[in-house]
Amino acid sequence: MDEMKIYHAICLILFLSLQHSLFLSNNSLFTYYGLSNTLNSYTEEVLSLQNKNENLKEEIKIINTDKSFLEAHARENFGYIKNNETFYQIIKNEK
């Protein structure tokens, strides 16, 4: 009977040790799920940034090749005008 008690005690200690490593250690399930969620969010962010980079590359190609785009951009953002043009600025009243 003593042998069975020792056997059960050893099994209980082993079981508790495995439960501890499964739920409370650095490599636990909670850590795994947390890192998995972090990985998914970083993956989405990387894909978003890659799409943004592709759009910017396309815009750079257009700017380098299309003079009218560059001219329109300069007019809209910097107020550039051509020779013999009159510039009218409309100021919105924000109230």
Structural domains in the chain (count): 1
> Is residue 88 domain-resident?
no
At 81 the pLDDT is: 84
Instruction: Write the pLDDT tens digit of every residue in 31-75.
Output: 889 999 999 999 999 999 999 999 999 988 988 888 888 888 888
> Is residue 49 domain-resident?
yes
> Is residue 60 domain-resident?
yes
> Is residue 52 domain-resident?
yes
> Is residue 95 domain-resident?
no
d(CA 16, CA 53): 51
Nearest to 63 by CA among 50, 54, 72, 76: 72
> 64 is in which domain, residue-wise?
2-78
> Is residue 20 domain-resident?
yes
Q: Work out the average pLDDT over 70-91.
A: 82
> Is residue 85 domain-resident?
no
> Is residue 84 domain-resident?
no
pTM, two decimals, is 0.53
